[in-house]
């Protein structure tokens, strides 16, 4: 059977038809060259969808074992209880045998499968660094067109695993009491990225209080060196203690997410546009490396061009393909 026409599928995705959402996610994970035009057409058709413009994209990151999947489940239940729909992209390490998702975050999440307002998808990293899968950016845009809130749960956080800032409107960094992670995050610059800090497993009350105090100190240190926040003006990063298993602190976290989304309203378009620019640069460098960047006149010129052409209506994937074509043509001319 021939593949569905992207605009037709786009309409079904916007209506949040689960079968269409699944097909769209399968498509954006397809790395074959003959699928790229269809992916670009689909994402172009979804870009102006009402939910894509007015929704909320939340990045959830933190070290492995901190309880991100359980917390995501609790967030989903609270969001659904407030009458909003939600899509989840759970990024897992890849199996070295199959290349597929190794741990399967959906196994650790408990949802009502008949709930039409909730969609969960696991993506394998396929060896990608940065804490996100190759197709995560595209997958987020598919789900953002269909659901009010999209949560992107990363594999874990480390020195280089901060790609989430280019995908999410709001970044939530999760730690657990007694882990000793705060100092390591401060050293690695991770404290620069979160908009909200969460101490999960806060039923360990004394350890949780110490963790909150450590985070408060880390924030003060980051502010002192001018390295905290993502140009959010007067937003003060809240620290929220939660217990995902007991359900405590979840409503406070949802309130903080809503407050940050409202705070972002004047600058959200620019924030997402910058994320698209970074998406183009990442895709191009994955394909062609530093040589590709230097051949097209350097990073500054490539960044300025991406900003200009995306602003004129180009889509990240189609622009990346065009830049790749120019790079290959240049190589042929000079060979």
E-strand stretches of the chain? 56-61, 86-92, 118-124, 149-153, 170-175, 196-199, 239-241
What is the spatial distance between Cα 163 and Cα 284, in angstroms, rounded to a whole number?
15
For the chain, 335 residues long, the average pLDDT of each consecutive 10-residue run is 61 96 92 84 91 95 87 95 96 47 49 87 62 72 97 70 83 84 64 88 87 84 60 82 92 98 95 92 90 96 96 86 93 87
What is the spatial distance between Cα 295 and Cα 280, in angstroms, rounded to a whole number?
16
pLDDT on residue 142:
96
What is the spatial distance between Cα 211 and Cα 260, in angstroms, rounded to a whole number?
23
- 238 three-state secondary structure: coil
pLDDT on residue 24:
96
> How many CA within 13 A on the CB side of residue 205?
1
* Dihedral of the alpha carbons of 332, 40, 162, 302, in degrees to the nearest 10: 40
Entry field: residues in the chain: 335
Torsion sign (Cα): 131, 319, 57, 13: negative
pLDDT on residue 31:
79
What is the spatial distance between Cα 89 and Cα 29, in angstroms, rounded to a whole number?
13
pLDDT on residue 36:
82
168: DSSP letter = -
Q: For the CA atoms of the chain, what is the radius of gyration? A: 20
Residue whose pair of structure tokens reads 């993502």 in the numeric block: 230
Q: 83 — phi, psi (to 5°)?
A: 85, 15
What is the spatial distance between Cα 166 and Cα 152, in angstroms, rounded to a whole number?
12
What is the spatial distance between Cα 322 and Cα 329, in angstroms, rounded to a whole number?
11
Helix %, strand %, coil % of the chain (to 5): 55, 15, 35
> How many CA within 13 A on the CB side of residue 168?
29
Could you give the residue ranges of the DSSP H alpha helices within 86-203?
136-146, 181-188
Residue whose pair of structure tokens reads 């609790």 in the numeric block: 74
Q: H-helix or E-strand containing 255?
A: helix 250-264
């Amino acid at each position: 059977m021939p593949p569905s026409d992207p605009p037709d599928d786009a309409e079904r995705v916007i209506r949040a038809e689960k079968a269409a959402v699944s097909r769209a996610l399968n498509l954006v994970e397809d790395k074959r060259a003959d699928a790229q035009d269809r992916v670009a057409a689909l994402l172009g058709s979804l870009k102006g969808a009402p939910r894509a413009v007015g929704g909320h994209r939340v990045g959830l990151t933190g070290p492995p074992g901190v309880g991100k999947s359980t917390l995501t489940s609790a967030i989903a239940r609270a969001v659904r209880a407030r009458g909003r729909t939600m899509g989840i992209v759970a990024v897992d390490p890849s199996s070295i045998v199959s290349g597929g998702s190794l741990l399967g975050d959906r196994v650790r999440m408990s949802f009502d499968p008949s709930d039409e307002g909730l969609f969960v998808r696991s993506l394998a990293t396929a060896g990608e660094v940065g804490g996100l899968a190759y197709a995560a950016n595209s997958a987020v845009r598919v789900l953002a067109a269909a659901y009010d809130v999209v949560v992107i749960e990363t594999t874990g956080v480390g020195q280089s695993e901060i790609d989430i800032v280019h995908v999410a409107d709001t970044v939530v960094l999760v730690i657990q009491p007694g882990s000793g992670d705060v100092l390591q995050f401060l050293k690695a610059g991770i404290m620069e990225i979160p908009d909200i800090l969460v101490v999960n497993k806060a039923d360990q009350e004394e350890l949780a209080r110490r963790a909150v105090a450590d985070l408060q100190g880390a924030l003060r240190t980051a502010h002192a060196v001018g390295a905290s926040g993502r140009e959010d003006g007067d937003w003060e990063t809240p620290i929220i203690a939660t217990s995902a298993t007991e359900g405590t602190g979840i409503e406070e976290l949802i309130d903080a997410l809503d407050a940050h989304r409202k705070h972002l309203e004047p600058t959200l378009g620019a924030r997402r546009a910058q994320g698209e620019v970074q998406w183009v640069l990442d895709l191009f460098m994955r394909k062609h490396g530093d040589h590709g960047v230097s051949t097209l006149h350097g990073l500054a010129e490539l960044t300025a061009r991406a900003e200009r052409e995306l602003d004129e209506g180009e889509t990240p994937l189609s622009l990346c393909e065009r830049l790749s074509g120019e790079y290959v043509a240049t190589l042929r001319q000079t060979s």
